[in-house]
């Protein structure tokens, strides 16, 4: 049984840490890859005496521990926790709230993120205000004494808005919270103390740790849907939280075990294999997406291309400052509305028509009909999710083939 290795020296570069952070040869055999520890329990030498915290696999599993150490390192966090899905990771954060608490949510987020707040936690007494977080004055105006959580994605989904992490953290720090709702209750363990101040959560799924590290820019917690770039091969569903805050880490760790939405060892192993190539996959995703965005921007069948790496993007300067490159996601509006965009989606052959994103293979989808259909039409229109909007998750195939496929579908 093995402890996650200590974090490598900070001097190591990202690519090296992708491959080595949190990993070490298996102590029993020297196996270079962390084994898949398919076990639910661990033998104790005497009641309550067990090694390195391994008593039951919901609480701790060696394959998961190696992955958690690896992901924490890639986000520059002291603590990483892995979950059975991105939304399970979100659920773990929302359990830190109490009835009467208030959340400020970016207006343009993954549909399931909005649904969890609107259809699950609203019912439990948590209120949510949605704001366009590119407008800092609107964010500031949305704070209430009861605000305990500020939550956004950058780049956002599907409009690829870039939100200024450091500026929003500044607003969170200026906010004075009112008395916490709910009384202190020692019987509740780490959750016994209500959150005293607003916590900033950044969903870093679209960027991956390769493009930006929100904790370094002021986020208290980073969330990933590992289903996307971290898994990277469209073959698993998982989520992660990272934080450098000891109090938050204790609460989240307690909740992970108490609620129990943990991934299996095999999925953790697959993610450990995936993070070894995260840096080269992301590099190619970004190169391909930039070339395709530039190509589509000149295409006569396209009304508008939304890509943070183009100068036409409203937050292009912020993207250049905040991110190392601009990512693999492109949204664009096809001339001719719903019918024209439907034709494109039916005609592509190399791009697969599917929800999700972040895999090595290129995907294409229609937000108004697919990922964002749960948002009412008026709200969609307000967000700019036009009927002709299509979203591309650019894979790592040869970019010439991807461009040829789009050109054929766009005639």
Ligand X SMILES: *Cc1c(COP(=O)(O)O)cnc(C)c1O
Q: Is 54 in the site for ligand X (CB under 6 A)?
A: no
**Closest Cα partner for 39 from 54, 50, 51, 27?**
54
76, two tokens? 């520059």
Q: How many residues form the binding site for ligand X (CB under 6 A)? A: 16
**Annotated catalytic residue: which of 54, 110, 229, 307?**
110
Q: For ligand X, which is the closer residue by CB, 113 or 177?
A: 113
Cβ atoms of 188 and 242 closer than 8 Å: no
Is 110 noted as a catalytic residue in this protein? yes
Long-range own/partner contacts, residues 337-340 (CB < 8 A, 24 or more apart): 337/386, 337/387, 337/388, 338/368, 338/387, 338/388, 340/301, 340/388
**Annotated catalytic residue: which of 98, 169, 228, 251?**
228
Percent helix / strand / coil, the chain, rounded to 5: 35, 15, 45
Q: Is 182 in the site for ligand X (CB under 6 A)?
A: no
d(CA 194, CA 111): 28
Q: Is 111 in the site for ligand X (CB under 6 A)?
A: no
Smallest gap, in angstroms, from Cβ of residue 223 to ligand X?
7
Candidate residues 147, 181, 205, 217; the one interacting with ligand X per rule CB under 6 A: 205
Long-range own/partner contacts, residues 39-42 (CB < 8 A, 24 or more apart): 39/265, 42/1
Smallest gap, in angstroms, from Cβ of residue 269 to ligand X?
18
d(CA 243, CA 223): 9
Is 51 noted as a catalytic residue in this protein? no
Smallest gap, in angstroms, from Cβ of residue 51 to ligand X?
32
Q: Is 237 in the site for ligand X (CB under 6 A)?
A: yes
DSSP 97-140: --TT-EEEEESS--HHHHHIIIIIITTTT-EEEEE-TT-HHHHH
Residues found in the chain: 411
Q: Is 85 in the site for ligand X (CB under 6 A)?
A: yes
Is 203 noted as a catalytic residue in this protein? yes
Candidate residues 73, 108, 153, 405; the one interacting with ligand X per rule CB under 6 A: 153
Burial (0-12, 13-18, 19+ Cβ within 10 Å), 82? buried
Candidate residues 2, 23, 34, 113; the one interacting with ligand X per rule CB under 6 A: 113
The backbone torsions φ and ψ at residue 324, rounded to the nearest 5 degrees and listed phi first, read: -80, -30
The backbone torsions φ and ψ at residue 187, rounded to the nearest 5 degrees and listed phi first, read: -65, -15
Q: Is 274 in the site for ligand X (CB under 6 A)?
A: no
Q: For ligand X, which is the closer residue by CB, 110 or 143?
A: 110
**Annotated catalytic residue: which of 73, 91, 203, 387?**
203
Smallest gap, in angstroms, from Cβ of residue 208 to ligand X?
11
Smallest gap, in angstroms, from Cβ of residue 11 to ligand X?
32
Which one of the spans 32-40, 105-113, 121-129, 402-410 is the region binding ligand X (CB under 6 A)?
105-113
Cβ atoms of 268 and 67 closer than 8 Å: yes
d(CA 354, CA 392): 10
**Annotated catalytic residue: which of 26, 58, 342, 343?**
58
Q: Is 203 in the site for ligand X (CB under 6 A)?
A: yes
Is 173 noted as a catalytic residue in this protein? no
Which one of the spans 225-233, 281-289, 392-400, 402-410 is the region binding ligand X (CB under 6 A)?
225-233
Candidate residues 35, 100, 112, 337; the one interacting with ligand X per rule CB under 6 A: 112
Residues that bind ligand X (CB under 6 A): 85-87, 110, 112-113, 153, 157, 203, 205-206, 225, 227-228, 237, 239
- Active-site residue list: 58, 110, 203, 228
């Amino acid at each position: 049984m093995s402890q996650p290795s200590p974090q490598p020296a900070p001097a190591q570069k990202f690519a090296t840490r992708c491959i080595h952070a949190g990993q070490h040869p298996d102590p029993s055999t020297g196996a270079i890859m962390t084994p898949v520890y398919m076990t639910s329990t661990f033998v104790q030498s005497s009641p309550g005496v067990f090694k390195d915290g391994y008593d039951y696999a919901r609480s701790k599993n060696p394959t998961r521990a190696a992955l958690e150490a690896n992901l924490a390192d890639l986000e520059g966090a002291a603590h990483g926790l892995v979950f059975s899905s991105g939304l399970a990771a979100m659920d773990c954060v929302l359990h830190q709230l109490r009835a009467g608490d208030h959340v400020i949510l970016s207006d343009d987020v993954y549909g399931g993120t909005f649904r969890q707040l609107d259809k699950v936690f609203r019912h439990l007494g948590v209120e949510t205000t949605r704001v366009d977080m590119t407008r800092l004055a609107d964010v500031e105006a949305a704070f209430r004494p009861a605000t305990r959580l500020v939550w956004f994605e950058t780049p956002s989904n599907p409009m690829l808005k870039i939100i200024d992490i450091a500026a929003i953290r500044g607003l969170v720090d200026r906010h004075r919270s009112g008395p916490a709702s709910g009384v202190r209750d020692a019987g509740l363990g780490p959750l016994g103390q209500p959150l005293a101040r607003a916590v900033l959560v950044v969903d870093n799924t679209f960027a991956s740790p390769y493009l930006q590290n929100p904790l370094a820019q002021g986020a208290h917690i980073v969330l990933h849907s590992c289903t996307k770039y971290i898994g990277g091969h469209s073959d698993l569903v998982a989520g992660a939280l990272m934080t450098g805050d000891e109090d938050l880490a204790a609460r989240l760790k307690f909740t992970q075990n108490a609620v129990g939405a943990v991934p299996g060892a095999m999925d953790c192993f697959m993610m450990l294999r995936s993070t070894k190539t995260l840096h080269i996959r992301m590099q190619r995703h970004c190169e391909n997406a930039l070339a395709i965005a530039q190509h589509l921007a000149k295409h006569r069948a396209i009304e508008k291309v939304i890509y943070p790496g183009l100068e036409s993007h409203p937050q292009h300067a912020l993207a250049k400052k905040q991110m190392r490159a601009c990512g693999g996601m492109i949204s664009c509006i096809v001339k001719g509305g719903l019918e024209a965009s439907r034709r494109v989606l039916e005609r592509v052959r190399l791009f697969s028509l599917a929800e999700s994103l972040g895999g090595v293979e290129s995907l294409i989808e229609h937000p108004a009909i697919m990922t964002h259909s749960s948002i009412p039409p008026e709200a969609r229109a307000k967000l700019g999710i036009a009927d002709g909007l299509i979203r591309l998750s650019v894979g790592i195939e040869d970019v010439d083939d991807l461009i040829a496929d789009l050109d054929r579908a766009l005639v």
